[in-house]
Amino acid sequence: MHSQRIISFLPSATEMICALGADDRLVGVTHECDYPPDVRAKPVVVHASLPVETMSSREIDVAISAQLAGGGSVYTVDENLLRDLAPDLIVSQDLCQVCAPSGDEITRALAALPKTPHVLALTPHSLDDVFDNLRELGDVIGCSDQANALIAAGRERIARIRAATADLKRPCVFCMEWTDPIYCSGHWVPEMTEIAGGVDPIGRRGADSVRIAWEDVVAAAPEVLVVSPCGFALDQSLAKAEELFDRAGWEDLPAVRNGRAYAVDANSYFARPGPRLVEGVELLAHLIHPERCEWRGAADAFMPVPQPVA
């Protein structure tokens, strides 16, 4: 018997479930689940415990660090609603305490249920891992054929981008996952950059994103700069990019001098390890090699970072 009542504890899982055609069995989501748009009408089981919408990047980083250091969580689970929804499958993660409930929060939530559901924890570090997660989820919910079709289509699109950029010069790219303090990219994003025809000497392929010194960015002299703060859409990424204007050497970065600093919709194409990472590879290829790779996706996927007014 395949799962009939599914709760997603992370937005990427919500996207996977819907892409597999099982959205009718999705009975609960998180406050961050917004794609596809119809999921916003689903009951919200997971909420943020910090008012990040009103905080600066620095304030968010300090508050989250303090919360986690004190043994707290940045999420709260509505245990009463969870009990009422009576899931037989919860899709969670064990990758990042900032991305979604994990570990102790899930254990506490399960303790509140009269019947323990199956828990599928996703822990991707690469594009292959994301495809493996999609296949595993498809198997659990009885959508294996749909999962295999999605994976095959995604791999084919990635292969096309790799072939299109294989013979091109690889510019230095820096994908920034947070603006204050500065975080480099990690996990699957450096791999996406490589497929798209660039090289990110600061990114940590397959490993956690970490804080780095701004001087490291200046020393790397990126020719393409992608501002992709985790958890934010394009308009928010643009606002966060403005925090960089006062940094020493900002205007001297080759990417800034040549108008190749971009803010992107991080939530849709980079931060969430789901099906749309394939579009993220295509977007990166366009930003790095616009002469070779066309962008046919959403108009609000990226925007050049405007220069500060003198």
Domains belonging to the chain, first-starting first, are: 6-123 (3.40.50.1980), 168-304 (3.40.50.1980)
Task: Please check the confidence at residue 67 and state whether its pLDDT lies above 70.
Answer: no
Q: Which structure tokens are listed for 274? A: 């789901």
Q: What is the pLDDT of residue 233?
A: 95
Q: Are strands 204-205 and 224-227 parallel, antiparallel or unpaired?
A: unpaired
| Total Cβ atoms within 10 A of residue 293 | 22
Q: Which structure tokens are listed for 86? A: 């009576």
Q: For the ranges 19-28, 107-116, 168-177, 234-243, which has the lowest average pLDDT?
A: 107-116
Q: Of 197, 154, 221, 202, nearest to 287 (Cα)?
A: 197
Q: What is the pTM of this model?
A: 0.91
Using one digit for the tens of pLDDT, what is the confidence trace for 162-200?
A: 999 999 999 999 999 999 999 999 999 999 999 999 999
Q: For helices 127-141 and 144-165, what crossing angle results, to 10°? A: 160
Residue 67 and residue 58: Cα distance in Å, rounded?
14
